[in-house]
């Protein structure tokens, strides 16, 4: 759609129809709005991706902590049983 819009813009420019300021303003506004929407989509995707990464990193860290405490408790129990 964007290439089609560019082609129409050039065609209108060649015909000299773009002397009409309102039409030119509308086309430029349409382009800028489309660009802003794309930027917002990209930013939202980045934010959601970062949130997912943060959550997964947190889960990995918490699992490591649980694992380390569990293994340390096992070692304590094992050594206690050996001493007895």
Q: What mean pLDDT comes out for the span 55-77?
A: 77
Which pTM value belongs to this model? 0.30
Distances (CA, A) of 78 to 67, 68, 70, 73: 16, 15, 12, 9
pLDDT of residue 52: 58
pLDDT of residue 1: 46
Q: Which position has the higher pLDDT, 23 or 83?
A: 83
Model confidence pLDDT, tens digit, residues 11-64: 655 555 555 555 666 666 666 666 556 555 555 555 555 555 565 666 777 777
């Amino acid at each position: 759609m964007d290439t089609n819009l560019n082609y129409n813009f050039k065609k209108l420019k060649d015909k000299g129809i773009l002397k009409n300021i309102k039409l030119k303003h509308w086309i430029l506004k349409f382009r800028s709005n489309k660009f802003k929407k794309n930027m917002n989509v990209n930013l939202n995707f980045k934010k959601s991706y970062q949130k997912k990464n943060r959550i997964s990193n947190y889960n990995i860290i918490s699992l490591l902590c649980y694992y380390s405490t569990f293994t340390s408790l096992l070692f304590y129990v094992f050594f206690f049983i050996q001493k007895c």
